[in-house]
Structure 1
Amino acid sequence: MTTAAPQSDPSVAARIQSEVQRAIQRNIKGVEYFTSPAPAVGSTPKDVLHVRGTMNLYHYHPLAGEVYRVAVLLVMAPTNRAYVFDMAPGQSLVEFLLKRGYDVFALDWAPPRPDEKKLQFDDYALDFIPDAIRRIQIETGEPDVTILGYCAGGILSLIYTSLNAGGPVRNLVCFTTPIDFHQMTLFRNWSDERHFDVDKLVDSLGNVPPEVVTAGFDMLRPASRVFAQINLWDNIWNDEYVKSYRMFDRWGADTLPLPGEYFRQMIKDLLWRNKLHNNELVVGGRKVNLSNIKIPMLHAVAEHDHIAPYEATKHLIPKIGSADKEEIVFKGGHVSVIAGANAIRRLWPKLDNWLGVRST
């Protein structure tokens, strides 16, 4: 009596073949990843309107037949480059605003020179921003400007606007802007004044290297870089995923050195003393009181922001003196509020609806 040969399960064979093909495709795409050039960023056509030291002012070419009267000035945080506003066609806040009829300008920052190590809040909020606004007024022929500040760019925009009540700012928009720095728990632990000698660091180095800044960010999520690379490997055959990963990874790694005095102020006045939240911050010889801001104000914050936690950002709108003020909370993290699928689907349309009726 003979025994029948066991029948192979066709589903098992199909799964093995699928995994083999996936492994082959993953390796092919892995080679392409390391040999292909990085995707272009910041490609929306623009003119460089003004350059002065670390300051760069851009004016983007219009993409609509008619534009709103009130121009929009995007203000980036001094730690990063402004191309996060303009990642790629279809993923660009700049492009979105231009197509909706806004006249868009942006303040971008270059690495500070050694002789710019003494730049501080006063220089950014009371020199660079008003200089940009004056040049926008000349360029457009209009007196009013909307400011949109991201993260620390929002802090500088708040300082400028609060000290220039009745000035040219028609509307103020902030994205993920912390106000209560005592709720920035991990950053405060990293910079604990019992152990962190900021004076010695700044006096020794002048400008603070980007590695010091990124060390603080990496401390917030120490395993995030590893997880991101694992997810990249799992999705390496997905061209859109890889393109998006490379753009955001490039921007995250493109951290700028900070002027030493600016860094010293951030640590001492904000993280240690919480002076902005307590109405004790002095800039240009005057106290910054956010209740002086009476213009329309919109603040977009992220529910799961590990850099500017909601506990640190939620106190901003209650401190604003305007009757026309609004906070909107989105799911996601620090960057997904300004760029990426969540921003495209939710934040950008909301921003357009809010801004359009206030820009005529």
Structure 2
Amino acid sequence: MIPRRGPRPLPLHLGLASLRAMLALTAPMPPPSSAASPSWNDAWPRSKAGRAEAARIAHALAAAGHKPEAFRAAVLRRLMTQDGGFLGGVLAYRRQDAAPAQPEMPVLWQDGGSRVLDYGGAGTPVLFVPSLVNRATVLDLSPERSMLRHLAGTGMRPLLLDWGWPGEQERRFALADYIARLDRALAALPGPLVLAGYCMGGLLALAAALRRPERLSGLALLATPWDFHAGEGQEGATVRSMAALAPLLDPWLDATGTLPVDVIQAMFAALDPFGIAAKYRAFARLAPGSSRARLFVALEDWLNDGVPLAAPVARECLGGWYGRNETMAGAWRVDGAPVLPGAWRKPAFLAIPARDRIVPPASARALAQAMPGARAHEAAAGHVGMVAGSGAEAALWRPLAEWVASL
């Protein structure tokens, strides 16, 4: 059995579970008479919608002859049951045996801590470029859920750029340095090939493709953000607020030269603060050893084995992308040259996940709209589900293979 620390950061998720109960315990219910003009007097501060909902509940309780105190007690009992389910799911996850290790793939090229792995297959070579903040293994998750091993049998030759762990050299890297490393990989690999970037890797792939179009026959951008201010409602506000965190993160960036994994995980958790607990409650209800349980464990092992982000890259992403939305504004430059999607003149395939919290669909669609002639594919999945979920073959693997074959 391997030691597991997830879900990371565990103190944050335990604290959020406690916060729900505290809010339920301390937020007073307005009397029915306050429905017309709810007041904040002696009340926990809430939004207008929250006060209206509290008033609706108070009216319903009064109409049925129930005391508000009894309702609050019932809510607390329900929350305690849910928290118990969350803890049970965490313990069940930590008791799982390690999945069998995937066979090592041959290394075609290496530079610093980064390698290009060859997944075999006959046909068009496709170089997959993952994000910098998670392990590349999400594209080769398990024997049952490996996008790359599946695609190797569909008339293409998948190659994977594994960025690796940022060492002393990479901790000084800016985005341009990583793009230059990708540029060197393209120069060294057999071509022409298709370049396929996933999430943040899509932005790096786009910038590299515009520098070396002669090496490529096509460009695939999977769940790639472009308009970083495109989110709607609270979700969009949370994404935009990440830019304001940059000055607060300076102590970590200066001390370690990176943005640590737990800080990155906490920022992602802000997109859905109570989502982790709900996910683990659902896992606790799964049959041990079932295919769904194995997939959950494999995904959580990947998520909790994250990679820190080089400090210069973290500052560029938070300030330039999330803060100033430089991609959408046409102001993102690499070595002085603007990264303009409309300058790409060869075939392009853009996969837009329909249920994505990390990259809202509107953000990815903005990139498709900026690339005339690109094929936009709406994937019926989430950000991770499109590459490694139970429905990934239909959502992405098959459409991507068909597009590559069409080249």
Cα 1:31/1:175, change in 2 over 3 Å: closer
1: distance between equivalents of 2:250 and 2:336? 22
Residue 262 of structure 2 aligns with an amino acid whose one-letter code is E
In 1, Cα distance between the equivalents of 2:100 and 2:188? Answer: 28
* Aligned equivalent of 2:110: 51
In 2, Cα distance between equivalents of 1:199 and 1:282? 23
Hey, what's the Cα distance between the residues in 2 that align with 1:225 and 1:88?
22
1:328 is matched with which residue? 377
Which of 223, 243, 247 lines up with 1:191 in the alignment?
243
TM-score (norm 2): 0.72
Unmatched segments (≥5 aa) in structure 2: 1-88
Range that drifts further, 333-342 or 113-122: 113-122
The aligned length equals: 314
SS in 1 for 2:397: helix
The residue identity in structure 1 corresponding to 2:401 is: D
Which residue of structure 1 lines up, in the alignment, with residue 159 of structure 2?
Answer: 105
Q: 1:152 to 1:50 in 2, by over 3 A?
A: same
Q: 2:181 aligns with which of 111, 114, 128?
A: 128
Question: Percent identity among equivalent residues?
Answer: 24
8 Å Cα contact 1:44-1:95 kept in structure 2: no
Among 97, 111, 118, the residue aligned to 1:37:
97
In the TM superposition, 1:76-155 aligns within 5 A as 76-125=130-179, 127-137=180-190, 143-155=191-203
Distance 1:262 1:212, change over 3 A: same
Deviations 1:102-155 (A, max 9, x none): 112101122211342221111111x21122112222xxxxx3010111100001
1:67-103 Cα deviation digits (max 9, x unpaired): 22x3100101011111111122342111111111211
CA contact (8 A) 1:53 1:112 kept: no
The structure whose residues are more often helix, as a share, is 2
Alpha-carbon distance, 1:36 to partner: 4.8
TM-score using structure 1 length: 0.81
CA positional deviation for 1:259: 0.6
SS in structure 2 opposite 1:303?
strand
1:45 and 1:60 in contact (8 A); partners too? no
Aligned counterpart, 2:396: 347
Of the three residues 246, 271, 276, the one matched with 2:297 is 246
- Give 1:60 deviation, angstroms: 1.7
TM-superposed deviation, 1:317: 1.1
The answer to whether the 8 A contact 2:242-2:322 is kept is: no
Matching residue of 1:74: 128
Q: CA deviation at 1:263?
A: 0.7
- Structure 1 counterpart of 2:350: 299
DSSP-derived class of the 1:112 partner: coil
CA distance in 1, matches of 2:336, 2:243: 26
Q: Deviations along 1:233-270, whole A, 9 cap, x unmatched?
A: 11133521221111000111121001111111101111
Aligned to 2:366: 315
Unpaired segments ≥5 residues, structure 1: 1-28, 138-142
CA distance in 2, matches of 1:30, 1:197: 30
SS at match of 2:143: coil
CA RMSD of superposed structures (Å): 2.2
Counterparts of 1:236 and 1:344 in 2: how far apart (Å)?
A: 23
- SS of the counterpart of 2:162? strand
Q: Once the two structures are superposed, what CA deviation does each residue of 1:9-55 show, in whole Å capped at 9, x if it has no partner? A: xxxxxxxxxxxxxxxxxxxx9998655521135x2551022332231
After superposition, the Cα gap between the structure-2 partners of 1:234 and 1:110, relative to the gap in structure 1 and judged at 3 Å, is same
Query: Paired residue for 1:284, among 329, 335, 347?
Result: 335
The question of 1:174 aligning with 2:233 is answered no
Whole-angstrom distance in 2 between the partners of 1:230 and 1:85: 26
Residues 180 and 315 in structure 1, CA contact (< 8 A), matched pair in contact too: yes
Shift of 1:191: 2.9
